[in-house]
Amino acid sequence: MKSVRLWFKKGGLAVYISHLDMNRCMTRAVRRAEIPLWYTEGFNPHPYMTFLMPLPLGQEGKREPLDIRIEQDMSFDEIKSKLNSVMPDGIEIVDVLEPVNKPNEIAAAEYEITVEFATEGEAEGFAAGAQSIIDGGILNAEKRSKRGIKTVNLCEMVRSFSIEAEKNFCKIKTILAAGNSVNLNADLLLNALFAEFAAEYEKTSITRTRLLREDLSDFR
């Protein structure tokens, strides 16, 4: 048995595939590609396949990890080629590697966010206000957890944040807490900032570019 970490990107219309459907999609792809997937033992065997940090619906991902185990020896290049030959539009395997870090080492995620406004003035005003709030250290919002809904200070989960206005667009680069214990969805952060200014935007796009460890080195 061999552990393999698949790294894939997800974009286009594929961003609207839910996590449950993504699980089914990848299971079918592995079977169609004839990857010798290892199955768990017991009364109800199922293929070993673990999404380490599932993307929220509507967000793009540049480098998302998926762990599998295979029963027979197969080169990483062959696995990548076979999987990409059966992948649906919007999903592509970008790397196949041996796992280096444990899943519980994921502590943060890097995002690139674009917000489109109707005018340049609205973009400039939002950029200045958003940066001021994050720098100030207080942005309260209701966050859902396993214990219910509670009010939290989102700034405590923001590791870095920069925003620039370009014409009627705002470009945000941010690193947010991610993992099993503390996790901040980029959508929640954006919506909390919009609420502070009653900002009316045209559209947004959120792309997760990297998963990081506690020291902000790449998760591998």
Structure tokens at 163: 């925003």
Q: Which percentage of the chain shows pLDDT scores above 70?
A: 100
Q: Report the C-alpha gap between 23 and 18 in whole angstroms.
A: 9
Maximal C-alpha separation, the chain = 62
What local confidence, expressed as pLDDT, does residue 158 receive?
98
- What's the whole-number mean pLDDT along residues 186-194? 96
- Beta strands 60-70 and 158-166 are unpaired
- What's the whole-number mean pLDDT along residues 171-187? 94
pLDDT digits (tens, 9 = 90+) for 19-76: 999 999 999 999 999 999 887 777 777 778 899 999 999 999 999 999 999 988 899 9
Residue range(s) in the chain whose domain bears CATH number 3.30.70.580? 2-99
Give 10-44 as a DSSP string: E-GGGGGS-HHHHHHHHHHHHHHTT--B-B--SSS
pLDDT digits (tens, 9 = 90+) for 69-125: 998 889 999 999 999 999 999 999 999 999 999 999 999 999 999 999 999 999 999
What local confidence, expressed as pLDDT, does residue 45 receive?
74
What local confidence, expressed as pLDDT, does residue 46 receive?
75
Whole-structure pTM over 0.75, yes or no?
yes
How would CATH label the architecture of 105-212? Answer: 2-Layer Sandwich (3.30)
CB atoms within 10 A of CB 40: 10
With the CA atoms of 179, 182, 185 and 190 taken in that order, what torsion angle do they form, in degrees rounded to the nearest 10?
Answer: -140
Structure tokens at 10: 């997800």
What local confidence, expressed as pLDDT, does residue 99 receive?
96
Q: Please, where are the H alpha helices in the chain? A: 19-32, 76-84, 120-136, 186-197
pLDDT digits (tens, 9 = 90+) for 145-166: 777 888 999 999 999 999 999 9
What local confidence, expressed as pLDDT, does residue 97 receive?
96
Could you tell me which residues come within 8 angstroms of residue 149 by beta carbon, excluding any fewer than 6 positions away?
142, 143
How would CATH label the architecture of 2-99? Answer: 2-Layer Sandwich (3.30)
